[in-house]
Amino acid sequence: MAQTEKKGGLLRKSSASKKPLKEKVVLMYDEVFTTEDPSKNNPRFWEELFLMKVNLEYLEGKLEALDGEELMKIKDNINCLFQHCIQALGEEHPIRVVNALQTLCALIRGVHQKNKSTSGFDIINMLVGFDKAELCMKNLMESLDSLLCAEGSESLKSLCLKLLLCLVTVTDNISQNTILEYVMINSIFEAILQILSSPLSRREHGYDAVVLLALLVNYRKYESVNPYIVKLSIVDDEATLNGMGLVIAQALSEYNRQYKDKEEEHQSGFFSALTNMVGSMFIADADEKISVQTNEAILLALYEAVHLNRNFITVLAQSHPEMGLMTTPTSPIPTTPVTPLGTTPPSSDVISSAELPLDADVQTSNLLITFLKYSSIVMQDTKDEHRLHSGKLCLIILTCIAEDQYANAFLHDDNMNFRVNLHRMPMRHRKKAADKNLPCRPLVCAVLDLMVEFIVTHMMKEFPMDLYVRCIQIVHKLLCYQKKCRVRLHYTWRELWSALINLLKFLMSNETVLLAKHNIFTLALMVVNLFNMFITYGDTFLPTPSSYDELYYEIIRMHQNFDNLYSMVLRISTNAGQWKEPASKVTHALVNIRAIINHFNPKIESYAAVNHISQLSEDQPRRDTRYLRLGGGTKFSVKDGCEHLYCVY
């Protein structure tokens, strides 16, 4: 009875009387996996091998089936195969080059996979041999560089990038990939830039090029001098930087589009009908099912560009007219099963399609707007560890932007107004804002909205302390710029103040649970100092005198929270313990706020008693109890000639 063989490379079934028929390339692989030189009986062995279509599955399976000892026995043949692959890259015949590139991918992956379970051999020695490693890797990198820079087949360029990505991502920790030392010595940085600066190459290979550059920049970046870091930091070519920004914007835009499509699908599907029947109790559960794979690789590329290259900051605010062009690949791209960092690059159509504006009257979107929308989606759900890290990276990128002087200039520019439709987490106590009601505002308003949204939606048991700290730091950096440059931003500051007060309330309500994991006093101090900044320097950046009225009203209205915070930190600072010092810092920082509360509360109560009013409106105490202005170290007075109060910051 005939039985089907499970191994790859077979052309027919086996039977009792006949042996299974194998592909010729499989038979040649079998010769490589013996201890004898395969070219001993066939001098044209290597020439013939690279004319045959590669069987990746069989080659990698063969490597996987060997144990470390068996692999060491055929090391010479593996070295020989690797070296002949490099030689084939210089051939004029494109089929030889394609087959050599794919074979190299299989060898690199197969040997590294084997090394995960057996550490009895060195990767470089197994692939190339110590004695020939330097010369072979130099030849390999030069061949790849030539192929990437040549005006030849786009398919070959794609395979070259796949091979390089394979080489970079075979280890979980990139800094442990010792073979990358040769990629550092024999740089392909210029080839990557050439791809990004050319519209045609960028559309075909931009995603892989940007991801490859981001990965190479992270190789032992804190341990030694990385030439890719140095070179990226001084790039000033406008076409190259714009090309990099375009690739990043398109990848993030594709994520936003996929999320929006899934969101609309859920709203019009089963969950929408269910919530109409039984109310909104399932809204959050329905939204949790909206899951689109995040793209950390492209986020990493954006971080490195913003962090290392100051010239890239200008790209954030530029629109990309090319994003509206639709293109398709000019030739089929041979593929190898390589997907760096577990992410999937956008399709060719997506790479050249623009993120559509909210309506016909809105300006073209730019990279910063696309990134803010992406962040608003990713930061909604931090319960998942993967998304938690992704949200953290988003906040780190925003921190870099908030620290940059030029970035702040266009963030606060009144002549650059946009409608930014941030995604908001569904919550039972608020309605979803209609897109058409969004005002046109400077981009800094969208950043502040994103921070406020995060503050009010993540007060939960698994408290993301690190993300909250970064969030408050971003707000502080933006306020510092407004104070320094006297920018009077027309923003709904009350929403920020209310969010910060509610955050303090949450910290106090969950003191015991949170203190077991976090130093909540660091965060509380940051929040209190934000209020101190508004109180002391608000006259330099708050838009109108009535904004000060609203600030004081909010502090007095929510005075119970500040009183409770003072009681808590005073209790902890007077007892010996690990939180004594950080709690005492909060105690001192509350001086201004407590002075305001202690001064105005008795007067407001007296006003209510005299006028027989049980419930004061917002305007009533402000009509009769007015303050003038207060600055650092100066005193403020009230209308009825009360005592002066000194404010400390």
Cα first-last separation, the chain = 90
Q: How confident is the model at residue 272 (pLDDT cuts 50, 70, 90)?
A: low
Backbone angles phi, psi at 465, to 5 degrees: -55, -50
Q: Which of 313-322, 338-347, 391-400 has the highest mean pLDDT?
A: 391-400
Q: 237-246, 289-298, 352-361, 438-447: which has the minimum mean pLDDT? A: 352-361
pLDDT in tens, 288-298: 446 677 889 99
Q: Which range, 212-226, 358-372, 468-482, 565-579, is most confident?
A: 468-482
368/351: higher pLDDT: 368
Q: Which of 64-68, 102-106, 132-136, 330-334 has the lowest mean pLDDT?
A: 330-334
Instruction: Tell me which range, 13-22, 69-78, 203-212, is most confidently predicted by mean pLDDT.
Output: 203-212
For residues 9-19, average pLDDT: 54
The residue that leads in pLDDT, 371 or 271, is: 371
Residue 588 has pLDDT above 50, yes or no: yes
Q: How distant, in Å, are the alpha carbons of 6, 29, 514 from that of 58?
A: 11, 9, 54
Q: What is the pLDDT of residues 369-406, one digit of tens each?
A: 999 999 999 998 888 888 889 999 999 999 999 999 99
Q: What is the pLDDT of residue 303?
A: 97
Asked if residues 332 and 326 have their Cβ atoms less than 8 Å apart, the reply is no
Dihedral sign, CA of 233, 235, 241, 243? negative
The phi, psi pair for 429, rounded to 5°, reads: -95, 5
| Residue-wise pLDDT tens digits, 120-174 | 457 888 888 888 889 999 999 999 999 999 887 889 999 999 999 999 998 888 9
Q: For the whole model, what pTM was predicted?
A: 0.83
pLDDT band at 230 (very low <50, low <70, confident <90, very high): very high
As a whole number of Å, the CA-based R_g of the chain is: 31
Query: Encoding tokens for residue 88?
Result: 């084939």
Q: What is the pLDDT of residue 351?
A: 42
The model's confidence at residue 20, banded by pLDDT at 50, 70 and 90, is low
Of the listed ranges 98-102, 218-222, 423-427, 514-518, the one predicted with least confidence: 423-427
Average confidence (pLDDT) over 527-545: 94
Q: Can you give the pLDDT at residue 318?
A: 84
pLDDT at 202: 92
Long-range contacts of 425-428 (CB under 8 A, 24+ apart): 425/284, 425/287, 425/380, 425/453, 425/457, 426/280, 426/283, 426/284, 426/286, 426/287, 427/284, 427/457, 428/280, 428/281, 428/283
Indicate if the pLDDT at residue 634 is higher than 80.
Answer: no
pLDDT band at 36 (very low <50, low <70, confident <90, very high): confident
As a whole number of angstroms, the distance between CA 79 and CA 128 comes to 5
So what's the pLDDT on residue 281? 44
pLDDT of residue 110: 86
> Is residue 351 within 8 Å of 250, Cβ to Cβ?
yes
Q: Which residue has the higher pLDDT, 17 or 229?
A: 229
Average pLDDT taken over every residue of the chain: 81
CA 450 remoteness from chain centre:
15
CA 394/CA 603 separation, integer angstroms: 46
**Angle, alpha carbons 630-633-638 (nearest 5°):** 35
Residue 433 burial (CB < 10 Å; 0-12/13-18/19+)? exposed
CA distance linking residue 108 with residue 127, whole number of Å:
7
Considering 39-48, 272-281, 356-365, the range whose residues carry the highest mean pLDDT is: 39-48
- Asked whether residue 630 carries a pLDDT value surpassing 60, the answer given is no
- In this predicted structure, which of 112-116, 344-348, 465-469 has the lowest mean pLDDT? 344-348
Q: Calculate mean pLDDT across residues 525-547.
A: 94
Residue 279's pLDDT band, with cuts at 50, 70 and 90, is very low
Q: How confident is the model at residue 16 (pLDDT cuts 50, 70, 90)?
A: low
Q: Please say whether the dihedral angle defined by the alpha carbons of residues 39, 41, 42 and 45, taken in this order, is positive or negative.
A: negative
Per-residue confidence band for 548, with pLDDT thresholds at 50, 70 and 90: confident
Q: What is the pLDDT of residues 133-146, one digit of tens each?
A: 899 999 999 999 99
Lowest mean pLDDT among 78-87, 238-247, 617-626: 617-626
pLDDT of residue 353: 39
CA dist., res. 558 & res. 103, Å (int):
68
State whether the Cα torsion 126-131-137-140 is positive or negative: negative
HSE toward the beta carbon, residue 609, CA cutoff 13 A: 6
Task: Reply yes or no on whether the pLDDT at 212 is more than 80.
Answer: yes
Least confident range from 2-11, 147-156, 214-223: namely: 2-11
Q: pLDDT per residue over 182-191, tens digit each?
A: 999 999 999 9
Q: Poorest-confidence range of 339-343, 480-484, 600-604?
A: 339-343
Residue 118 has pLDDT above 50, yes or no: no
Q: Is the pLDDT of residue 361 over 50?
A: no
Contact 559, 501 (CB under 8 A): no
pLDDT of residue 323: 45
- Exposure string (b/e) for 630-639, b if CB count within 10 Å is 16 or more? beeeeebebe
Give the pLDDT of residue 532. 96
pLDDT score recorded for residue 640: 32
Please write down the HEC assignment for all residues of 369-434: HHHHHHHHHHCCCCCCHHHHHHHHHHHHHHHHHHHCHHHHHHHCCCCCEECCCCCCCCCCCCCCCC
Residue pLDDT, tens place only, 431-478: 665 555 778 899 999 999 999 999 999 998 889 999 999 999 999 999
56-67 mean pLDDT: 86
Check residue 291 and give its pLDDT. 65
377 within 8 A of 427, measured Cβ to Cβ: no
**Per-residue model confidence (pLDDT) at position 645:** 33
**Contact residues for 113 (Cβ-Cβ < 8 A; gap 6+):** 60, 63, 64, 170
Decide which of 553 and 401 is more confident: 401
Give the pLDDT confidence score for residue 11 in this predicted structure: 54
Which two tokens mark 629? 């202005």
Mean pLDDT of 54-60: 88
Distance, CA of 210 to CA of 341 (rounded, Å) = 13
Query: Model confidence over 100-109: pLDDT tens digits?
Result: 999 999 999 8
- The C-alpha atoms of residue 201 and residue 206 are separated, in whole angstroms, by 7
